[in-house]
Amino acid sequence: MGKAIAFGSASAVIVFLLTLGYSVLPLVTLLAIGTGVYLFAQSRGSGFAFGRKKLVQSKASVPTTSFDDIGGHERAKKELKEALDFLIHRDQISQYGIRPIKGILLSGPPGTGKTLMAKAAAHYTDSVFVSASGSEFVEMYVGVGAQRMRELFQEVRTLAKRNQKTSGIVFIDEIDAIGGHREGSQHREYDQTLNQLLTEMDGISTDQDIRILVIAATNRKDMLDPALLRPGRFDRQIEVDLPDKKARLHILRLHTQNKPLAEDVSLERLAVETFGFSGAQLESVTNEAAIYAMRENSPEITQRHLSAAVDKVMMGEKTDREATQEERERVAIHELGHAIVSELVRPGSVSQVALSPRGQALGYVRQHPGEDRYLYTRKQIEDQIKICLAGAAAEELIYGNRSTGARNDYQKANQYTRTLIETGLSDLGIIDPEWINKEKMQEESTRILNALQKETYDMLSRYRKLFDACLQVLLQEETLSGEQFRMMMKDAVSGQGQDRVEGKEMCLVIDS
């Protein structure tokens, strides 16, 4: 009504001025500018609500994703279900005088299924589900983010009433975008957004008809403001870690249910080879394998397709980078060095030796740990350092010099060395890294690396003939499977043993 009156008044004024013979162009221009500024302010202030209403209408209400659709994470799912039961069994918790949980924080690496967990939580509790990303609340205009936060909570209440539900879940992804540490007197716009979120969570009382649960996700829990993490706000903090071997197998089975797998495919073997993969990466592996099979018009997905997909997810797609013959031979020697030492310190760990360039690498050795490990001894870390140094040591053994190809290997070796020192496993003993000077740590790191470099070189020098045996095959085929490499290594070791026996017999003859 107000807009209609204003429009009619403005039109009457313009007509009146025209009858008096005045030019109305300046007035019309001024009115146009004012209208534009008003509409822009309205769109900035309420655009979130309009967009959100469309989102709500399109997504209906309760998600269809259940906990059965999420592979692995049994501990996290069990802990989450226990927290969600407070939304379901209201009479029971009131009988014991339990305060309902207001917030659940899911933290963990990217791609581990935190968003799926939130959707499954809404399905489990039969609650309406409204989601937003933390970046949606960050604006240059003061107060806009706080207004959007109020609209988000109002929206879930409206949606719940519309769908005749008694509970709703608000999911905020990447909450660290608005929930970071507040820095003293420095005032930032999204501090108001955080304050509004805290106010809304405090306002979630037990006597409301619509019970709201806030679920947030982050991979930077250390950045969050303490006010968010205190009891009464996010009462449950659940870690959603990378899946272990059993969970990886479960995830692979879920993602291959609708894919034609060949009889020779071993998902157990694939689960071992994908140590450290997230759920999103495992899904990408199965999808890329299907793409490889489709390119070849293969009716089934074979183990070879899955192996190529693992390489692509880990290293990237093959590149058109063409190396000279000399460079290819040096890269082959470098990767064979990694493979030989890996097999010596961890038998059966090599999955593939490849000479094909992927991403920034001209060649690579794919390894698997055999079993998931979360604790490491000094020897195990030193063995890993030897594997990192083996590429450069192999170049030095064969060519008498090294190349820049070992740069990334040295970075990893330094990281492992730093872990040795900071965990008290070096000769420095138990230390506090903040109290010891950097020069002393560098001296200890250099000593460790130099000693392990010499040990690695000595290990490789005993397998000099193995380089010659594998080099030609690798240059021609560009890949060596783990089984093929171990067979060639076994033959080389048997040959060296025979040479030693023959040499000993010859010495006996000469001595006699």
DSSP codes joined into one string, 322-363: ---HHHHHHHHHHHHHHHHHHHHHSTT-EEEEE-S-BTTBS-
pTM of the model: 0.73
Name the packing angle between helices 378-399 and 407-422 (round to 10°). 150
Q: What pLDDT is stored for residue 319 in this prediction?
A: 73
Residue 295 corresponds to which amino acid?
Answer: R
Going 228 to 234 to 238 to 242, the CA torsion angle's sign is negative
> What class is the 245-315 domain?
mainly alpha
Q: What pLDDT is stored for residue 22 in this prediction?
A: 62
Rounded Cα distance between 233 and 107, Å, is 15
Rounded Cα distance between 190 and 179, Å, is 8
Q: What pLDDT is stored for residue 289 in this prediction?
A: 94
335 annotated active-site: yes
* HSE toward the beta carbon, residue 420, CA cutoff 13 A: 26
Q: What pLDDT is stored for residue 443 in this prediction?
A: 93
The domain limits of the chain are 2-58, 60-239, 245-315, 325-494
Q: Which H or E run contains 284?
A: helix 279-295
Q: Give 451-507 as a DSSP string.
A: HHHHHHHHHHHTTHHHHHHHHHHHHHHSEEEHHHHHHHHHHHHHHHHHHHHHHHHHH
| The Cα angle at residue 435 between residues 431 and 436, in degrees rounded to 5 | 70
CATH T-level fold of 325-494: Methane Monooxygenase Hydroxylase; Chain G, domain 1 (1.20.58)
Rounded Cα distance between 408 and 389, Å, is 10
Q: What is the pLDDT along the chain (512 residues), one digit of tens a residue?
A: 555 566 566 666 666 666 666 665 666 677 677 666 665 555 444 444 434 444 333 344 778 888 988 888 888 899 898 888 877 887 787 788 887 788 899 998 988 889 999 999 999 988 899 888 877 776 555 567 778 888 888 888 888 888 888 888 999 988 888 877 776 555 565 677 888 888 888 766 544 678 888 999 998 888 888 888 888 888 888 999 889 888 999 999 999 999 999 988 999 989 888 888 999 999 999 999 999 999 999 999 999 899 889 988 888 877 777 778 888 899 999 999 999 999 999 998 888 898 877 777 788 888 876 666 778 899 999 999 999 999 999 999 999 999 988 899 999 999 999 999 999 999 889 988 888 888 999 999 999 999 999 999 999 999 888 898 888 888 888 888 888 899 988 887 766 544 443 333 323 222 32
Rounded Cα distance between 409 and 338, Å, is 10
Q: What pLDDT is stored for residue 94 in this prediction?
A: 77
Integer angstrom CA distances of residue 216 from 116, 197, 395, 417 = 12, 11, 50, 36
Asked if 216 contacts 244 with a C-beta cutoff of 8 angstroms, the reply is no
Which residues, in sequence order, are bridge partners of residue 103? Answer: 214
Q: What pLDDT is stored for residue 311 in this prediction?
A: 87
Pairing of strands 128-133, 167-173: parallel
Rounded Cα distance between 188 and 18, Å, is 49
Burial 102-131 (b: 16+ CB within 10 A, else e): bbbbbbbeebbbbbbbbbbbbbbbebbbbb
Q: Which two tokens stand for residue 166?
A: 């008694």
Rounded Cα distance between 252 and 275, Å, is 13
Dihedrals phi, psi of 299, to nearest 5 degrees? -70, -15
Q: What pLDDT is stored for residue 184 in this prediction?
A: 57
Q: Where are the alpha helices (DSSP H) in 20-140?
A: 25-59, 74-88, 90-95, 114-125
Given the residues 335, 343, 395, 444, the one annotated as active site? 335
Q: Which two tokens stand for residue 96?
A: 């014991």
Rounded Cα distance between 169 and 171, Å, is 6
Integer angstrom CA distances of residue 43 from 4, 39, 46, 49 = 19, 6, 5, 10
CATH T-level fold of 60-239: Rossmann fold (3.40.50)
Q: Would residue 478 be called left, alpha or beta, if left means φ above 0 and alpha means ψ between -120 and 50 degrees?
A: left
